[in-house]
Amino acid sequence: MSTDYAASRVSYEGAEFRLQRNDDRSQSLVITGAPESLTAAFSGRRDGDAFVAPATGENAAALRSVLPWLKPRRWGLETSAGTGDRLGLATPGHVQAFKDVAGVNPVFAQQSTREMGRTHRTPRNVLDDATWGAFQEGWTGGVGADADHQKTEESLSECAEAGFVFFTIDPGDEMDMAAHDDDEATVRSKAAAIDLSSLDTSADDIVSRYAGQTIELESGPLTLDEESVLRAVAKAGPALVRGLQLINHVEGLGVEHELEFAIDETDKPTTLVEHVVVVKELQRNGVELISFAPRWVGQFEKGVEYIGDREALAKNFSDHAEIARVLGPYKLSLHSGSDKFSIYPSFVEATRGVAHLKTAGTSWIEALRIVAAHDPQLLRDILKLSLESFEENRHSYHLSCDTTRIPTDVPDDKVGELVTALESRQVMHVGYGAVLDEYGVQIKDLLNTHEDEYAALMKEHFIAHIAPFGKR
Ligand SMILES: O=C(O)[C@@H](O)[C@@H](O)[C@H](O)C(=O)CO
């Protein structure tokens, strides 16, 4: 017998929409009281008074076209949080958390090209799964959609075509990290060698524009000295060139969009002068940023607490936030935001809520608690495979785990601890690609069987993430 998801029931323009779970665990959209002109958008069949349509990607797109609150929208400067879901099953629990916390706007569909590649999902898959999850839980508060860590024109086009509206431009690979510490002569020659003609400028022009300038921040003046400006050019110049190319590509697509510029996945902190030069040069080229993701001080590793001096980080948050208010305003974006509970309050305070939080891997790693509880051997297999493929999986992720400290032969009743312990947590956190290739069907089957348990876990976990960002 099929059962309804009670929370999904919603009325719109005289019709009632709901989601049901069928005997075979598939899901169907059921519409009653709707004219032919409305149901024509869906592929399905009439069943008495009702129109029944399977929960396919095609019907998700139709649902977005019919129910306006499911169509991705821009959040502008409002406080927002991204919940990136690598499994396509986590959104119901995310929704339950957002229903409990007022004042934070959700971006349920958020996925980087890296994650889509490793999980073999397309931008449409990501958006469609998020649509069904939001619908299942009756979310009518609007949704964003973040094409995260975009590095190529091709993937930007695909995400735009799918309906994403938030584009995270990530030219971080082009940043010259050595220039952070190079001696002055090297910095000078590096800066002079960068072709900045596409930004309609040169290193000399940039120096004459900004060197000696003072920016009045709330906490005092920030003076841009010549060496720091040159260093910013040497370090970020090539990234600016590439970033602008990607931004121009988005702008040429003619779709609704807002832009984040992300240089967070780099080895050295973004200096305040670098922040100013990067944003001002983008603005001079006509770019309006909605958010900026600098590389903060300390270590932002995946899926674990912040590693570093929290007071220094709070100061760093507040310095960058002051700049963002003076040059923008635009939001500051906190990437690798999963499980960094100790730092959310200082981030929110510094930004006054003009902020975006990004999480992704935590929904995946926490799902493994359900696996550990119901199939401890599968969890051991997942860890084993994550370890075997670790060298490949860790590529482009910041991690410090020491794999030799991971225990072997963990008994069933202790397997859940592997999801908590830093070393094994990080290894499995980045193991998602290989693991889903091998055990994806089993894992998803198990999560579907225990969907209420997974949703309840996600709800509590996300309330802890977003409550500090909620109405103050
Ligand atoms: O793993 C990824 O590729 C992304 O989810 C992240 O890098 C994302 O930008 C993020 O910071 C979420 O924590």
Of ligand 1's listed atoms, the one at least distance from the Cα of 111 is 5
Query: How far is residue 373's CA from residue 59's CA, in Å, rounded to a whole number?
Result: 34
- List Cα–Cα distances, 382 to 30, 117, 174, 399, 424, in angstroms: 37, 19, 34, 19, 10
Q: Is residue 349 annotated as a catalytic residue, yes or no?
A: no
Ligand 1 centroid, distance to 397 Cα (angstroms): 9
Residue of 302, 344, 397, 436 to mutate, ligand 1, most atoms within 8 A of C-beta? 302
430 lines ligand 1 (CB under 6 A): no
Give residue-wise pLDDT tens across range 258-288.
999 999 999 999 999 999 999 999 999 999 9
Query: Token digits for 332?
Result: 């500051």
Distance from residue 280's CA to the centre of ligand 1 (Å): 26
ipTM higher than threshold 0.90:
yes
Ligand 1 atom with minimal separation from the 114 CA: 3
Question: Which tokens hold the place of 287?
Answer: 């770019």
- 391-410 pLDDT, tens digit each: 999 998 989 899 999 998 89
Residue 472 has pLDDT above 80, yes or no: no
Average pLDDT over residues 247-256: 98
The answer to whether 315 is annotated as binding is no
Assess whether pLDDT exceeds 60 at residue 134.
yes
pLDDT number for residue 414: 97
The C-alpha atoms of residue 147 and residue 164 are separated, in whole angstroms, by 6
| Ligand 1 pocket residue status of 369, Cβ below 6 Å | no
Contact status, residue 340 vs residue 317, Cβ threshold 8 Å: no
As a whole number, mean pLDDT of residues 360-380 equals 97
- Average model confidence (pLDDT) across the chain: 97
pLDDT digits (tens, 9 = 90+) for 236-249: 999 999 999 999 99
- Of the pLDDT bands very low, low, confident and very high (cuts 50, 70, 90), residue 150 is very high
Q: What is the pLDDT of residues 82-112, one digit of tens each?
A: 999 999 999 999 999 999 999 999 999 999 9
How much of the chain exceeds pLDDT 70, in percent?
100
Could you tell me the strand order of the sheet in which 27-32 lies? 3-12, 15-21, 27-32, 50-54, 45-47
Residue 471 has a pLDDT of 85
Residues 333 and 312 sit within 8 Å (Cβ to Cβ): no
Q: What's the whole-number mean pLDDT along residues 334-357? A: 97
Based on the residue annotation, tell me whether 264 is a catalytic residue of this protein.
no
Q: Which residues contact 117 (CB under 8 A, 6 or more apart)?
A: 433
Q: How many CB atoms lie within 10 A of CB 13?
A: 10
Instruction: Give the active site residue among 170, 258, 260, 265.
Output: 260
The 3-state DSSP composition of the chain as helix, strand, coil percent (nearest 5) reads 50, 15, 35
Options 85, 129, 137, 148, the catalytic residue:
148
Whether 446 and 375 have beta carbons less than 8 Å apart is answered as yes
Instruction: Tell whether 149 is in a known binding site.
Output: yes
Contacts of 208 by beta carbon, 8 Å cutoff, 6+ apart: none
Rounded CA separation 90/200 (Å): 45
Please indicate if the annotation marks 302 as binding a ligand: yes
